[in-house]
Structure 1
Amino acid sequence: MNPYLDIILRSVSVYLFMIIALRIFGKKELSQLNTADVILILLISNSVQNAMVGSNVSLLGGITAAVALFLINFLFKRIMLKSKFIKNLVQDKPEILIHNGKLEFKTLARLGISSDELQEAMREHGVEYYKDVKLAMLEIDGNISVISGNENLRQTHHKRKIHKTLGNLNQ
């Protein structure tokens, strides 16, 4: 087999494996990078590098792997735009965290979002108390959106992403 075709097939295989692994282990695990997440990403990249290029450590081998990854990512995003089935298979659904001031404890526990993380996101949106939240959603990209029930408070989309942690949700 052509060594560069081998690199392309290996790279595509690793890409598809990572898509499946992130779906299984949760994209929220990598959505906010703390120290452990950075270490995980570095170790994953190091562990899959040899799987993609094999014994070919040349510049052209590395560029071939990178181009293959860019192409498969581009194609995969196009497929997700056209196929609702693939999109639903890969992407999580938005989750309601607070509705009309009431916390969704089961959802928060299932997602591993602590009360401290939720309160931080609320404060960044200018909301102090749970009862003032009309709707808080964990979006598909890991962002938390908060809409307050008070017209005087601003309604914003929070750009900080959440990661799973265990915490006390009884506050």
Structure 2
Amino acid sequence: MWHDMLALPVPVLEKVLRTAFVYALVLLIFRFTGKRSMAAMNTFDFVVLFLLSNVVQNAIIGPDDSVTGGAIGAITLIAMNAALTRWLATDDRAARLLEGTSSPIVEDGSLIPGTLRRLSIRREEMANAVRLHDGDSIDEVQTARLEPSGQLLIVLKPAARAATKGELDQIGERLAAIEQLLSRRPS
């Protein structure tokens, strides 16, 4: 029993190479199919993700179903991901190549033509993102862009921005000064 669980029917190097190849392939597929963060994933994205793990499983494990083989595959995936993450944190060119660059969506209250379709963003998603940033409509957006991480960054026009706590404090101080001046005036 222990022998079956721990014996490797596939050489360790083959296991590492299979895992590395599938990791690189899936990374490239996701890189060239669009920008979506985990928070922005819809039901269809989750279905693809779950099925994808099953589809590539045999390519990674081959004829090996041992615990040792699974551990080698898991360690390889985690090590590759850690190394890639560290590399991208220090090399801007590699980050641009592998992650892409931000994509502008809105400029001065107007959608850039064709951008929503190209980025697979529905108008409702964009309108909801504007509301989440305290805006009422796209007309109030100064700029919006989709980051390589899938995060949607929205900057409202100055007139559409909500007042900050500091601005409200300044208004309160001014009102207090006016009240003080008015209280000093003879009636």
TM-score range, shorter chain: 0.7 to 0.9
Q: Write 1 or 2 for the structure with the bigger share of helix.
A: 2
Deviations 1:18-50 (A, max 9, x none): 111112222338762222211111111011111
Q: How does 1:115-154 map to 2 (within 5 A)?
A: 115-149=123-157, 150=159, 152-153=161-162
Superposed CA RMSD in Å reads 2.2
Matched, 1:41 2:41: no
Q: How does 1:58-69 map to 2 (within 5 A)?
A: 58-69=66-77
1:55 matched to which residue of 2? 63
Deviations 1:93-119 (A, max 9, x none): 111211221211232232122211110
Q: How does 1:72-87 map to 2 (within 5 A)?
A: 72-87=80-95
User: What's the TM-score once normalised by structure 1's chain length?
Assistant: 0.81
Unaligned runs of 5+ in 1: 156-171
Unaligned runs of 5+ in 2: 1-8, 165-187
Residue 15 of structure 1: how far off its partner (Å): 0.5
| Residues 85/146 of structure 1: CA separation in 2 closer, same or farther (3 Å cut) | closer
Name the amino acid aligned to 2:131.
R
Q: Write 1 or 2 for the structure with the bigger share of strand.
A: 1
Question: Identity percentage over the alignment?
Answer: 28
Is the Cα–Cα contact under 8 Å of residues 11 and 65 in structure 1 kept in the other structure?
yes
Q: Distance in 2 between matches of 1:4 and 1:144?
A: 42
Report the count of equivalent residues. Answer: 155
Deviations 1:130-160 (A, max 9, x none): 22111111112111111111364269xxxxx
Name the amino acid aligned to 1:134.
Q
